[in-house]
Structure 1
């Protein structure tokens, strides 16, 4: 499932590709991917300009010139591709937004969705999300104060969207590895030094992954060589049996509350 770095990368690219452009046509091939009837969706979206694309946690918000918002969550297996008709992927497209002869294809939205909301409705949908870990206002001091009375297993807290926004299975493992902490540690048992290391790891891993391009399997457009480049930079995620880059010990895979988890049993404590 795409996490903060992947969605941030999408946001940055889409603002370059479609911001200020008029949505000339809308096709809905799967009604379950939207939250209103297709005709209402099309009438509200078609003919409007994409004013801005924003990100909140693992969501994207397409803000339209009529004040409506398209709220996207790709969930597991969802992705997007922007191209001319001739370069359309040979995959089932659930929704298509057209910009003249260019098209934004939403693919794999079996669990994901593109919902139509007013601004107030979109804000209500996102109201229970935790802080954005890369927000400039979320300083180390804020983080340390925020987690002072938080409790729970480190892995599970990191992927809890009510605790922090945008982190999932991949980056929770990468963060624990960077901080040299076992993912099964309890948040309330961390020392002050370990909490500081956790904050540093969150900042470092998420910024690096975003700048590199995240771990998406599919490019966003033709000749997109950045999206997915973080696949080759993971230190522990999906690296079971490979030597740890710090100590050479083989990376181990386990499960924590049914969540696939990877770590180094030697240099994570």
Structure 2
């Protein structure tokens, strides 16, 4: 599932491609991927200019000139491609937004969705999401305050979107490896230095992943050299049996909160 770095990469690239552009056509091949009838969705979206593209947690928000937006959550298996019709991947497209001769294809939206929302409904949809970990206002003091009174495991806490926005299964593993903390450690067992290390690892890992385009293997457009650059830079996730890049011990896999979890049991403590 795309996490914060992948959605931030999409945001940055799509802002360059379709920011300020007008939607000239809408094709809905799967009505369950939207939240209204096909006719209503098309009527609300057609001929609207994309003012800006924002990100909140794992969501993208396409802000339109009428004050409403399209809220995208790719969920498991979802991705996008932007290009001409002859460049379209040989995959099933659930939703298509056209910008003249170029099209934005939404692919793999079996669980994901693209919803048309008013500003008020958008606020309701996102009201329970926690702080953005890369927001300048999210300081170490704010992080320590958020941790106060929590007693869950580290892995479970990091992927809780009400605690902190945008971190999922993959990056929680990478963050905890960088912080040298075991995923089943309890929040209340950490001392201040470990909490500070965890905070620094959250910011460092997410910033590095964004800088290198996240892990998605599917390119956003032909010639896209940004998307997916972080995939081969992962330290532990999906690396079961491979040597730890810090100590050489074998990476192990376990299940925590029904999630496949990867870590080094030698150098994470």
TM-score by length of 1: 0.99
Distance in 2, Cα, partners of 1:123 & 1:193 = 36
For the aligned residue pairs, the C-alpha RMSD in angstroms reads 0.6
The corresponding residue for 1:75 is 75
Classify the secondary structure of the residue corresponding to 1:60: strand
The corresponding residue for 2:240 is 240
Distance in 1, Cα, partners of 2:142 & 2:158 = 16
The offset of 1:217, in angstroms, is: 1.8
The corresponding residue for 2:267 is 267
The corresponding residue for 1:221 is 221
The offset of 1:66, in angstroms, is: 0.9
Classify the secondary structure of the residue corresponding to 2:77: coil
The corresponding residue for 1:30 is 30
- Is 2:85–2:102's contact at 8 Å kept on the other side of the alignment? yes
Q: Provide structure 2 residue ranges, at least 5 long, that are not aligned to the other structure.
A: none
Classify the secondary structure of the residue corresponding to 1:229: coil
The corresponding residue for 2:210 is 210
Classify the secondary structure of the residue corresponding to 1:197: helix
The offset of 1:71, in angstroms, is: 0.3
Q: Provide structure 1 residue ranges, at least 5 long, that are not aligned to the other structure.
A: none
TM-score by length of 2: 0.99
The offset of 1:150, in angstroms, is: 1.8
Distance in 1, Cα, partners of 2:56 & 2:133 = 11
The corresponding residue for 1:66 is 66
The offset of 1:145, in angstroms, is: 1.8
Distance in 2, Cα, partners of 1:53 & 1:82 = 15
The offset of 1:125, in angstroms, is: 0.2
The offset of 1:151, in angstroms, is: 2.0
The offset of 1:225, in angstroms, is: 1.6
Distance in 2, Cα, partners of 1:252 & 1:226 = 30
- Is 2:146–2:163's contact at 8 Å kept on the other side of the alignment? no
Distance in 1, Cα, partners of 2:200 & 2:150 = 18
Q: Give matches, 1:113-192, under 5 Å.
A: 113-192=113-192
Q: How many residue pairs were aligned?
A: 269
Q: Give matches, 1:78-117, under 5 Å.
A: 78-117=78-117
Classify the secondary structure of the residue corresponding to 2:22: coil
**Structure 1 residues 149-182: Cα deviation after superposition (integer angstroms, max 9, x where no partner):** 2220100110111111100011000000000000
Distance in 1, Cα, partners of 2:225 & 2:175 = 25
Distance in 2, Cα, partners of 1:83 & 1:104 = 7
**Structure 1 residues 189-240: Cα deviation after superposition (integer angstroms, max 9, x where no partner):** 1111100000000000000001100011200000112111111000000001
